[in-house]
Chain A
């Protein structure tokens, strides 16, 4: 029992276990505690641990949806080398499995092993065989109505997911709710810029009958006159704001937006150089200018697989 109490200090959900222990030991329960526990569970999917898992899973889903050839982490190789490496791995796995089976056969207490296997986590292949977009929707179902309680990064990924699923109304709504809670957040701004760019570019997105609603929503978020979408002006304003605020995350976000808007333009290079120039921002964060420049070379979609 003492052990449970210790755990519950670091693990809020074990309070439930503790709660049941109280009941078993005939300690009084109260209506207030019951109401509180319901309230706690209502928001359980916005817990930081769940959000972290959600972000990790969503990044992988979106990345593998974009680059399915990298499903075994060999996407960087050319097709011939990839094939060779895959065959090599297959052989190695087969060998390990054969060895394992032999060992299992030799061991006593097969029944016990089998029992353990039933309770164990599924093999990794099971997860890679799933429909990534459908899974992503399931993951986010617990938080879509509670975005105001989520981190900016989580909301940004929800926006990205909605864009990939061509649910632009949902994307605009999530971006709006996110920026209300986290104004000027770099992750949200970057997601908004990409969303606005997709909506703005002719032929990139099928908006359907809700097009005016989506455009008006975006105009409001970008601070443009109703019905217009001026992403460049928004990015320029954000860059100035980032420099003024002396905020490293915002400067990084501004650089990402600039590069996304137009990598090749000399104006972009100039603007990025200007943003990078504030050396005092980088000092002391384990980040140096060459690292940032290297990071910027990573193409647009690969930002999804950067884990902190």
Chain B
């Protein structure tokens, strides 16, 4: 029966089971196997009945408990499945299949203690398999037994009888081993480990980054500076490398350095810390040097943030804005925004980027940027140049005025002057009626003013400027939903779903969370509680599925590392 089940010959399997059950109607294992086959055939209720009956009739059979566990597992009922597998193991404690399956269930429900025990048992019985070693080491890592995990990798590498992976996988294993040392706080040992095994690790960049981090954490700033400088030279636009470089030059303590290595996006030590005059001088010298080597790198933007006060910033910001407006850079506001920082309420020693109108409104950088941009607009209108008093040889392209208006509108919007922002963006639209960004900005301003219907109309007009743009289609849909125009939103989004079937069903199957959330909130605003809950539950279901889907990966990932055995 097991062969028939594994070969997916379900009809034959059921026939065989029936033949056995004719002679032995209470044979538990046969009932369980029949139930398992039924489960695969989609007869869930009959399957569960049969399996339960099988367990009742033969409670001391590991097969019955294993099958019961399989049924629960197929329903994603992992906790119940663990109970069944544990019962099966009480009867047949060395059953490798059950032990292995149990371990995947344990990691799925994050029963780390159980996972460690199960994987250690698997390792004891199958020490010749690479997967046994690797998974046991990973289990101990999850259990925060970093030294044990480290030792396991060492033992595995010394074990000549165990299978070995290819060069890449062995390198990854070494990096994992190194991570254990780092977790133990043995930074020097971690550096030595990386140096000793450098030739065996394929991911050379990972080694360079890790060594640079560890050197800084150890307080070896001179070496750290060299290493981070080399990394910045290789990727001068990588903000994480700039972060490391700044940490090294600022010579911060290990705890602060570890925190700063985790910064994200445009955050840098120079943007989140309140630096002293000495520290600022150090960084200014560093970036003055970097700018000579990498003229078109992120250093251009980072150096602006090192200016103290609006007056010092005026000249560099002026030059920066002119270049970027000349080149028609739509994201220019984001760069200006990165210069506007306020004290972080959650952490007194830190600064954060401005978020609220109150943050932007009276900020010296906002005022400076507004003054500069207003000056450009006046001059561009009059003389098609940024500075009418010192005319350049060539005139600026018409896009310079357009993007200056766009930036001006954006600055007014975040400063709370929505009427002013709307006036400016209208001028930009009059300048170039087909510019999508201008229309989208107008819709956003209208939305902020509380005119949801007007915003939706503007965004729809914007969408019609490029009917093949999915982003605009989604934006228009979102704006319709904010205006509670559900039927219009549904029609709009349907333009980009499959042609056959119900578009709503397609979006549900695609797990389109943003749409379902907006739709649910729209229903809730109109007190259609049932429909709103239906959509909120759909989002929840997607998240549960993401987690449940991971179940297959535990075994898959670990099997994968054993593929060459």
Contacts and interface: CB of A to CB of B under 8 A. Distances in A.
Interface residues of A, number: 65
Contacts of A287: 450
A248 B355 CA distance: 12
A240 interface: no
Interface centre among A13, A35, A248, by most chain B C-beta atoms within 10 angstroms, is A13
B496 interface: no
Contacts of A248: 356-358
B525 interface: yes
A53 interface: yes
Interface string A7-19: 0000101001001
Interface string A28-59: 11111011011001101101011011101101
**In the complex, the 3 A-B pairs of residues with the closest C-beta atoms, listed nearest first:** A284-B416, A124-B530, A73-B527
B357 A49 contact: no
Contact of A182 (B176, B346, B561): B346
A56 B521 contact: yes
Contact of A31 (B176, B449, B520, B542): B176
Contacts of B490: none
A70 B543 CA distance: 29
A289 interface: no
B370 interface: no
A285 B448 contact: yes
A177 interface: no
8 contacts: A19-B553, A28-B169, A35-B176, A56-B520, A56-B536, A127-B537, A283-B416, A285-B416
A49 B549 CA distance: 18
B533 A128 contact: yes
B534 A127 contact: yes
A59 B546 contact: no
A35 B141 contact: yes
A286 B444 CA distance: 12
B418 interface: yes
B531 interface: yes
Contacts of A60: 524, 529, 532-533, 536
Chain B binding site: helix, strand, loop or mixed by DSSP? helix
Interface centre among A73, A139, A245, A281, by most chain B C-beta atoms within 10 angstroms, is A73
Interface string B149-170: 0000000000000000000110
B402 interface: no
B513 A49 contact: yes
Interface string B111-145: 00000000000000000000000100010011000
B505 A13 contact: no
B293 interface: no
Nearest to A56: B536
A246 interface: yes
Interface of B: 107, 110, 134, 138, 141-142, 168-169, 172-173, 175-176, 179, 345-346, 356-358, 361, 413, 415-418, 448-451, 501-502, 505, 508-509, 511, 513-514, 516-517, 520-521, 524-534, 536-540, 542-543, 546-547, 549-550, 553, 556-557, 560-561
Given A121-B538, A183-B345, A247-B356, A16 B449 contact: no
Given A29-B557, A34-B557, A57 B537 contact: yes
Given A31-B561, A53-B516, 6 more contacts: A23-B556, A56-B521, A57-B537, A182-B346, A246-B358, A307-B521
Nearest to A57: B536
Contacts of B508: 120-121
A50 B539 contact: yes
A70 B358 CA distance: 38
Interface centre among A30, A64, A73, by most chain B C-beta atoms within 10 angstroms, is A30
B46 to A, nearest CB: 18
Nearest to B137: A31
A266 interface: no
A37 B552 CA distance: 13
Given A30-B172, A71-B529, A283-B416, A305 B550 contact: no
B157 to A, nearest CB: 14
A286 B553 contact: no
Given A31-B138, A53-B517, A125-B530, A307 B539 contact: no
A31 B358 contact: no
B38 to A, nearest CB: 18
A299 interface: no
A181 interface: yes
Contacts of B520: 53, 56
A20 interface: yes
Interface in A262-287: 280-281, 283-287
Contact of B172 (A31, A72, A124, A280): A31
Contacts of A59: 524
Contacts of B529: 60, 64, 71-73, 127-128
B490 to A, nearest CB: 15
A116 interface: yes
A305 B524 contact: yes
B445 to A, nearest CB: 10
A23 B138 contact: no
A286 B448 contact: yes
Contact of A32 (B172, B448, B524): B172
A247 B355 CA distance: 11
Contacts of A72: 529
Contacts of A31: 134, 138, 172-173, 175-176, 561
Given A41-B547, A44-B546, A49-B513, A286 B557 contact: no
A284 B357 contact: yes
A45 B533 CA distance: 18
Given A57-B540, A247-B356, A116 B501 contact: yes
